[in-house]
Amino acid sequence: MRNIDAKGHVTGQSLYVDDLPTWEGTLYGVVFYATVAHATLQQLDTSRARALPGVIDILTAKDIPGENQIGGILPDEELFASNEVHFQGQPIGLIVATSEAIAKKARQLISVDYQEKEVITDPRDAQTKGRLIFPPRTFSMGNTKQAWAACAYTVQGRADVNGQEHLYIETQGAYAYPMENGHIKISSSTQGPTAVQRTTARVLGVPMHTIEVDVVRLGGGFGGKEDQATPWAVMAALAAQKWSAPVKLILHRMDDMRMTGKRHPYSADYKLGLSSDLKMIAYEVVFYQNAGAAADLSPAVMERTLFHATNAYYIPNVVATAYSCKTNLPPNTAFRGFGGPQGMFVIEAAIAHAAHTLQVPKEKIQEANLLVKGNSFPYGQKITDNGLKTAWQQMQEKFALEDVKKSIVAYNQTHSTTKKGYALMPICFGISFTKTPMNQARALVHIYSDGSVGISTGAVEMGQGVNTKMIQVAAHVFDLPAHYIKLETTNTTRVANTSPTAASATADLNGKALEKACKTLLTRLKTCAANHLQTQPQNISLKQGQVWIKDKATAMDWSQLIEHAFLDRICLTENGHYATPVIHYNKTQEKGHPFAYHVMGLALTEVTVDCLRGTYHFDAVKIVHDFGKSMNMHVDRGQIEGGLVQGMGWMTLEELRYDPEGKLLSNSLSTYKVPDVYSAPEHIYIMSLPTQSTEMALLKSKAVGEPPLMYGIGAYFAIEHAISAFNPSYVPIQNAPFTHEKVLLSLYETGV
C-alpha cells in the first residue's frame, strides 16, 4: 500500500499546526528566554514591552495558577524560571500580543539583571563536582576482575560522541483555543499528546478532562517532540485560559535550536580485554552523559545506553556504569535510538582501538563475537536467534564482502591522494519502552452505517508511515479496500492515556490494539451474517468486501452486512487494548526481560577520502536488515534510508557546538550542516534478512523506526579506515563526529 500522505506532502496539502485555519481574535505568543547559562534572576523589567501597542500580556512564573513544573520523569524543571536560570534559552516568560511581529519587538524591550554563577558544560566536570541528575546505575554480568587475568590483550581509552540537533522540518509549536466552561483544546506538534494534556492540566491547575489535545501530524519529531513539545503547548494554553482567546505559539527556527535539547553528548572511559583468538572476554565502561540542566528523559536515555553497551556482541564479563551529569546546557532529550547509539559508538570505538593495536581488521573482532542464540545480555535477557550470524553470511554472499575488500586494497595501491575505506556495523536494538508500564495502547473503531470505517489510535504520524500501517491493519482484518478506512487525528478525547509515539514500538502497540478491536467487530459481524444467511458463524468469512460461506461468495456485500448489523442493533464500535506480554524488568537487580524482541542487521559502508582536502564521499552503504515479514516494504525502506543518513550525519557533518558560557554556536543551518542529497551515500542497497520473525511484532512486521540510524555509525569507522591507509602513524581519535576538519588533521597527524 502506498503511503497515504504521499500525495498531500508533494502537493503541499498536508496540514501542520501552523496551517490550521486561524480563529478570529487569535493572539500570538513569543517566548522570552535567558541569555546567560547560570544565574539568579535579580530584576525583570517588562514595563517598556508592556507599553508597546498590541502587547496584551507578559506571562511569567507568577501567572501560573497550578504548578510551575513540567518535569516528566523527575520534577526538576520549571515552565518559566522563577528565581534561577540554568541554561541559555531557558524560558522566563511569554509575550502575548496581537501579532507575532509585535510580540517579537516587545521581546527586545524586556530587560533582566542576572547575577551570574559558575557555568558547567562538560559532563566530566559536572560529575567531579557531584552535579548529577540522579544516582549512577551499573549493569554487570560475570566477573571482570577475574577475567582481566585471562585476557591476552587489553586496551583502555576514552571515547567521546557529540550530540545532534533534531532538525525536524516543522519547528515546535501549538495552537490553543478556549472552548466552553473553561475547557481548552490544543493542537500540538507533539509525539506525546497525553504528556501535553497531563502537563497542561498540572500547570493550569485543572483536571485532565478539561484539556483536549489533538495532533494531525508532525513535520518530523525524531524524539525531539517526545517530551519537549510540551512547554510550548502549555504556554499557549496558559495564555488562552487567562485571556479566553485562541493563542498560537510557533517557534522560529533559531529560537527552537537555542531553547530545545538535543541528542545527549557522551564521554566514556573503556577497558576491553580479548583472548588470543580475538574473543572479547571483559568490558568495563563508564559513561558520562551530558544531560543538560534538567532531567527531561535523561534517566531513560541513560538506561538504554546501558542496555546497548555491548551492541551486537556477546561479552561474558561486563561492568557498565553510567552517570547522568547536570550541566548548564538545554536539557537533552530523546533522539532516534535514545542513548543506544552512544553506547554502541563506544563499544565500536573500543573494538577499533583493539584492532589498531593488534593490527587486525576490525571486522575480524566483530565477527568473532557476534551474539548467537541463547547468549545473554548483561541485563539477563537472552537472544533468541542467530540473525547476526546470518546477516554476516548474507553480507559475504549477496554483497560479496571479500571482493569489496580486495577492490579497496587495489584502489589504495594505485591512488595516492585519495583513499578508500570500509567498515562493518552490526546492530542489535531492543524493541519496547524500557519502562514496562509504557508498553500499552488503545484503539477505537467505528463502523458507520454506510459501511465506511473510522479508526483512532494513540499513534502520531511524524513521517514514519504509522498511519498507513494502521489503515493496513483494519483493511487486512476486514479484508476491505483501503479507501473504506479513514484514520482520525490523534486525539486524547478518543484515545486516552497514550504512551508517546516513540521507542519504534508505535505500530506494534497501537496496531495490535487496533487489530484486536477489528477482530472483535469481525466476530460480531460474522454472527450477524450467519443469522441472516442461516448458517454457523464459523462458516462465514469476509473476502474483498463480500460475505462468503465456506468457499462460496454469497450475494451479501460489506455494506449490506453493516446495514443488517445496524438494524439488528449490534454495536458497530469497539475499543481495543493491548499490553505487551512477557516483558518485565527489575531495576534493583538490573535484570529482566525488558524487550519484546530485538531487531538486527549489518551494514557495510564504503567511503572515499580526499587526502588533500580532508573531504569524503560515501560510495555505498550495503545493508542486510531484519524486517521480520515487512507489512510495507516502501515505508520500511524509507525508514532505513532516512535513519541511515541521519545516523551518518551525526557521525560526520553535524557538529553541535556550545561555547564555554553555554551559548549555542551552531544555531542555524549555515553553521550546522545536516546531510543533503550530495552527502548521502551514492548507493544504498538494502536486503532483507531471512528470519522467522516474531508474533510480538505487528503482523510479524518488525519495528523499523530507530534501528537503522545505528548503521550510520559505520561511517565513522569507514573514514578512519581510509585515513589509516594514507597515514600509517594515525592513531584512532575516538571523537565523533568525523568532520572534514578532523579528517584533514588526522591525515597529517604524526602520532605519538
Give backbone dihedrals phi and psi of 516, rounded to 5 degrees, phi first. Answer: -65, -45
Choice from 310, 328, 501, 632 touching ligand MTE (CB under 6 A): 501
Regarding 506 and contact with ligand MTE (CB under 6 A), the answer is yes
- Complex with ligand MTE: residue 298 or 386, whichever CB lies closer: 298
Q: How near is the Cβ of 715 to ligand LUZ at its closest, in Å?
A: 22
Regarding 433 and contact with ligand LUZ (CB under 6 A), the answer is yes
Kindly state the cell numbers that stand for 456. Answer: 483512532
- Complex with ligand MTE: residue 237 or 502, whichever CB lies closer: 502
Query: Which amino acid is residue 356, in one-letter code?
Result: H
Only one residue has cell 525524531, namely: 222
Q: How near is the Cβ of 121 to ligand LUZ at its closest, in Å?
A: 25
Regarding 502 and contact with ligand MOS (CB under 6 A), the answer is yes
Q: How near is the Cβ of 499 to ligand MTE at its closest, in Å?
A: 10
Q: How near is the Cβ of 657 to ligand MOS at its closest, in Å?
A: 22
Sign of torsion over alpha carbons 561, 563, 566, 567: negative
Choice from 503, 518, 709, 713 touching ligand MOS (CB under 6 A): 503
What is the DSSP annotation of 73-133?
Answer: SSS---SS-SSEE-STT-EEEEEEESSHHHHHHHHTT-EEEEEE------HHHHHHTT-BS
Count of CB atoms situated within 10 Å of the CB of 546: 16
- Complex with ligand MTE: residue 445 or 631, whichever CB lies closer: 631
- Assess contact for 306 and 340: CB atoms under 8 A: no
Give backbone dihedrals phi and psi of 18, rounded to 5 degrees, phi first. Answer: -75, -5
| 462 contact choice in ligand MTE, ligand LUZ, ligand MOS, none (CB below 5 to 8 Å, kind-dependent) | ligand MTE
- Complex with ligand MTE: residue 223 or 387, whichever CB lies closer: 223
Kindly state the cell numbers that stand for 304. Answer: 538504554
**Which of 602, 603, 586, 585 lies closest to 594, judged by CA?**
585
- Assess contact for 421 and 408: CB atoms under 8 A: yes
- Per DSSP, what are the bridge partners of residue 31? 94
Sign of torsion over alpha carbons 453, 458, 463, 469: negative
Q: How near is the Cβ of 189 to ligand LUZ at its closest, in Å?
A: 17
- Complex with ligand MOS: residue 88 or 164, whichever CB lies closer: 164
Q: How near is the Cβ of 226 to ligand MOS at its closest, in Å?
A: 5
- Complex with ligand LUZ: residue 85 or 710, whichever CB lies closer: 710
Catalytic residue among 284, 574, 706, 720: 706
| 304 contact choice in ligand MOS, ligand MTE, ligand LUZ, none (CB below 5 to 8 Å, kind-dependent) | ligand LUZ
Q: Distance (Å, rounded) from C-alpha 462 to C-alpha 9?
A: 12
Regarding 193 and contact with ligand MTE (CB under 6 A), the answer is no
Q: Distance (Å, rounded) from C-alpha 131 to C-alpha 123?
A: 9
Angle 713-648-659 (CA atoms, 0-180°, nearest 5)?
Answer: 95
**Secondary structure, 3-state, 266-297:** EEEEEEEEECCCCCEEEEEEEEEEEEECCCCC
Q: How near is the Cβ of 73 to ligand LUZ at its closest, in Å?
A: 9
| 158 contact choice in ligand LUZ, ligand MOS, ligand MTE, none (CB below 5 to 8 Å, kind-dependent) | none
Q: How near is the Cβ of 337 to ligand MOS at its closest, in Å?
A: 7
Q: Pattern of binders to ligand MOS over 197-226, x per CB under 6 A?
A: ------------------------x-x--x
**Which of 492, 501, 430, 503 lies closest to 466, judged by CA?**
501
Residue, CB closest to ligand MOS: 223
Q: Distance (Å, rounded) from C-alpha 579 to C-alpha 624?
A: 30
Q: How near is the Cβ of 127 to ligand LUZ at its closest, in Å?
A: 23
Sheet holding 184-188, edge to edge: 55-59, 91-97, 27-33, 247-250, 173-178, 184-188, 211-215, 490-491
- Complex with ligand LUZ: residue 297 or 401, whichever CB lies closer: 297
Regarding 256 and contact with ligand MTE (CB under 6 A), the answer is no
Site for ligand LUZ in 326-385 (CB under 6 A): 334, 338
Residue, CB closest to ligand LUZ: 338
Angle 481-688-397 (CA atoms, 0-180°, nearest 5)?
Answer: 150
- Complex with ligand MTE: residue 8 or 25, whichever CB lies closer: 8
| 87 contact choice in ligand MOS, ligand MTE, ligand LUZ, none (CB below 5 to 8 Å, kind-dependent) | none
Q: How many chain residues bind ligand MOS (CB under 6 A)?
A: 11
Q: How near is the Cβ of 346 to ligand MTE at its closest, in Å?
A: 20
Q: How near is the Cβ of 101 to ligand LUZ at its closest, in Å?
A: 37
Kindly state the cell numbers that stand for 440. Answer: 500499552
Q: Pattern of binders to ligand MTE over 450-489, x per CB under 6 A?
A: ------------xxx-x-----------------------
- Complex with ligand MOS: residue 337 or 421, whichever CB lies closer: 337
Q: Distance (Å, rounded) from C-alpha 347 to C-alpha 159?
A: 9
Kindly state the cell numbers that stand for 468. Answer: 498507513
- How do beta strands 266-274 and 39-45 pair? unpaired
Q: How near is the Cβ of 387 to ligand MTE at its closest, in Å?
A: 19
- Part of the chain binding ligand LUZ (CB under 6 A), chosen from 131-139, 297-305, 417-425, 624-632: 297-305
- Complex with ligand MTE: residue 335 or 585, whichever CB lies closer: 335
Kindly state the cell numbers that stand for 267. Answer: 564521554
- How do beta strands 111-116 and 440-447 pair? unpaired
Site for ligand MTE in 215-234 (CB under 6 A): 220-223
- Part of the chain binding ligand MTE (CB under 6 A), chosen from 193-201, 448-456, 497-505, 607-615: 497-505
Look at residue 57 and give its three-state secondary structure.
Answer: strand
Active site residue 706: yes
Residue 587 CA to its chain's centroid (Å): 23
Q: How many chain residues bind ligand LUZ (CB under 6 A)?
A: 10
Q: How near is the Cβ of 642 to ligand MOS at its closest, in Å?
A: 13
- How do beta strands 485-487 and 453-457 pair? parallel
Q: Distance (Å, rounded) from C-alpha 588 to C-alpha 137?
A: 10
Surface-to-core class of residue 735, CB atoms within 10 Å of its CB (0-12 exposed, 13-18 middle, 19+ buried): middle
Q: Pattern of binders to ligand MOS over 324-363, x per CB under 6 A?
A: ----------xxx-x-------------------------
Regarding 378 and contact with ligand MTE (CB under 6 A), the answer is no
| 494 contact choice in ligand MTE, ligand LUZ, ligand MOS, none (CB below 5 to 8 Å, kind-dependent) | none
Q: Distance (Å, rounded) from C-alpha 663 to C-alpha 373?
A: 48
Q: Please tell me the chain's helix, strand, coil percentages from 3-state DSSP, rounded to the nearest 5.
A: 35, 25, 40
Kindly state the cell numbers that stand for 168. Answer: 525536524
Q: Pattern of binders to ligand MTE over 634-663, x per CB under 6 A?
A: -----x--x---------------------
Choice from 41, 286, 503, 723 touching ligand LUZ (CB under 6 A): 503
Peptide bond into 737 cis (omega under 30): yes
| 434 contact choice in ligand LUZ, ligand MTE, ligand MOS, none (CB below 5 to 8 Å, kind-dependent) | ligand LUZ
- Complex with ligand MTE: residue 68 or 333, whichever CB lies closer: 333
Sign of torsion over alpha carbons 562, 563, 565, 571: positive
- How do beta strands 616-625 and 683-688 pair? parallel
Which residues are known catalytic residues? 706
- What is the binding site for ligand MOS (CB under 6 A)? 191, 221, 223, 226, 334-336, 338, 502-503, 706
In the complex, the residues that contact ligand LUZ under the rule CB under 6 A are 297, 300, 304, 334, 338, 433-435, 502-503
Residues that bind ligand MTE (CB under 6 A): 220-223, 336, 462-464, 466, 501-507, 639, 642, 703, 705-706
